[in-house]
A and B are shown apart, each in its own frame.
Chain A
């Protein structure tokens, strides 16, 4: 059976033009997905796939029933003083809502990958505002594309071919020839190699370059010959390019959020984009790395008024990234139990955080074995959202879309992570009311 217009649930591009051939509930062929996407479709049959719930006994894991697993998970969360519900970036909005309900119910805190990725971008957005547009607008209108601190070819392989560089748009009928691609980065990435223009920036100096561009835009002058390793002449040229384009877009990546200055770098960039709108039409789009990490910010804001790093310790939502964010809370040992879903903090968190995760009761709801599952007390099989269960997701430009289900999960006890979380939530309510 061939399924068309299937969504790839991996990076923020949310490509929904994938063709999948399925036979006997296994994938036979995948068309049009990039290498990473194809790999994700392969996860369905992964040798590391978690098929049954497991509980740690010493060094090993033993299989337990779903009922036992749900009960154990609920007990861990109810008894904690500082429980954390974390992850969701590769999961559905529907599952996120239930995860947030759990955090609120147990008076814990809830966070997602956005907190240590583009959370900084959101902090800047809150302070300065974000002039933006959709990927459709980019494809049809944009003639100047800037990748700043983003290696799209590696992080979002089809980004350039589907949206920014190669496709023919309504006002960009000649595709690549109608567009100028500029890359700003600390090293010559593969994206830089296919750009029209590559500007190498000294590490940790993006902030200064943005401030210099602002002055160049107004025709101002500075005494220095070079800023951030870039000559003043080159800076003026870039400013002119930005000012004179018809529709400019900057795709900003973690190179900017993660280097010195952090959200101030992004704040500076957004502010620059706002100023560019005095001259032309200019937008910024953050390169969200997971297919529904933007969705988490949407759902979290809908439920609490805040986009991520929310604590419900007092029974009402509070937000202070740097304090209530997952990395800080783990590093300060202010988490005493953790549920990780659709995330691999065991692989992606700094040493100090992983050390804490190894000390506390950790529940991992995961599709396949990962460094996180290997550190957990309890492993619960995950359902691949957007393949084995339908999912609402927000693409990296914040457009909400639906990913179809075209397979069944390899177990019958649950049909989606939303349902699994709902089972945990219901058991938590039973336990709490039983105490009264």
Chain B
């Protein structure tokens, strides 16, 4: 159990934690995805697909509270997500599938055809940066836009 006083220190020193990254479907993300609401109703899309489910103790370890933001970083890149308390074991985070998590997922399929959607090693730390909107994410891909 990490006392409240230490959580502030974790946050100040931007303590990082090493985790396994799991990504996949959730009902809420599915409702937006299937409903054709990804662009015009981008708030709902962002709210359902740019979240990071994390174990409560892990959250305290890095000094982040529910609905605070975290930076998720892998070898591929990093992305800012909103943290939500989840039934994850310590050392595992779950992010719904979508453009946020995919911006840090490795395309190497190890000759299987399927990329590393589940099981990548990642680092998580508290951040003050904000979560990007879907069009901001996409703008990074289309050069010269």
Contacts and interface: CB of A to CB of B under 8 A. Distances in A.
Q: Do chains A and B touch in the complex (CB under 8 A)?
A: yes
Interface of A: 10-11, 34-40, 42-43, 46-49, 59, 115-117, 119-120, 123, 151, 153-155, 157, 186-189, 200, 203-204, 254-255, 257-260, 262-263, 289, 309, 321-323, 325-328, 330-331, 344, 346-355, 357-359, 367-371, 373-375
Contacts of A37: 34
B105 interface: yes
A233 to B, nearest CB: 20
A354 B104 CA distance: 12
A128 to B, nearest CB: 16
Contacts of B22: 186-187, 203, 255
A43 B134 CA distance: 19
A59 B145 contact: yes
Main secondary structure on B side of the interface with A: loop
Nearest to B87: A188
Interface string B20-46: 101011110011111111111100000
B112 interface: yes
B138 interface: yes
Nearest to B105: A350
Contacts of B98: 347-348
B139 to A, nearest CB: 9
A327 B118 contact: no
A288 B20 CA distance: 24
A254 B27 contact: no
B118 A351 contact: no
A309 B114 CA distance: 12
Interface stretch (B7-15, B59-67, B89-97): B89-97
Contact of A35 (B31, B41, B104): B31
Query: Which 7 A-B pairs rank lowest in CB-CB distance, beginning with the nearest?
Result: A368-B36, A322-B111, A325-B113, A39-B35, A46-B36, A43-B36, A352-B107
A262 B143 CA distance: 34
A350 B114 CA distance: 10
A11 B25 CA distance: 11
Contacts of A370: 36, 38-39
A34 B118 CA distance: 26
Contact of B108 (A115, A331, A349, A373): A331
Contacts of B26: 154
Interface in B41-96: 41, 76-77, 86-89, 92, 94
- Residue of A39, A120, A155, A189 most packed against chain B (CB within 10 A): A39
20 contacts: A35-B31, A39-B30, A47-B41, A48-B40, A115-B114, A116-B117, A119-B114, A154-B25, A187-B22, A203-B20, A203-B92, A260-B119, A322-B109, A331-B108, A347-B33, A348-B97, A349-B102, A354-B99, A371-B38, A374-B135
Contact of A375 (B27, B107, B138): B138
Contact of A153 (B27, B94, B113): B27
Contacts of B36: 42-43, 46, 48-49, 367-370
Given A116-B114, A325-B109, A374 B97 contact: no
A422 to B, nearest CB: 24
Contacts of A330: 107
B101 to A, nearest CB: 9
A370 B141 CA distance: 14
B32 A39 contact: yes
A60 B110 CA distance: 37
Contacts of A355: 141
A13 to B, nearest CB: 12
Contact of B102 (A157, A262, A347): A347
- Residue of A328, A357, A375 most packed against chain B (CB within 10 A): A328
Contact of A351 (B40, B77, B92, B135): B77
Given A255-B24, A350-B76, A352-B107, A48 B141 contact: no
Contact of B114 (A46, A120, A187): A120
Contacts of A327: 107, 109, 113-115
B39 A354 contact: no
B111 A151 contact: no
B41 A346 contact: no
Given A186-B22, A323-B111, A368-B37, 15 more contacts: A36-B27, A47-B41, A116-B117, A119-B113, A123-B112, A200-B89, A262-B114, A330-B107, A344-B33, A348-B97, A348-B102, A354-B102, A359-B143, A368-B36, A374-B39
Contacts of B106: 350
A322 B113 contact: yes
B113 A351 contact: no
Contacts of B102: 347-351, 354
A67 B103 CA distance: 36
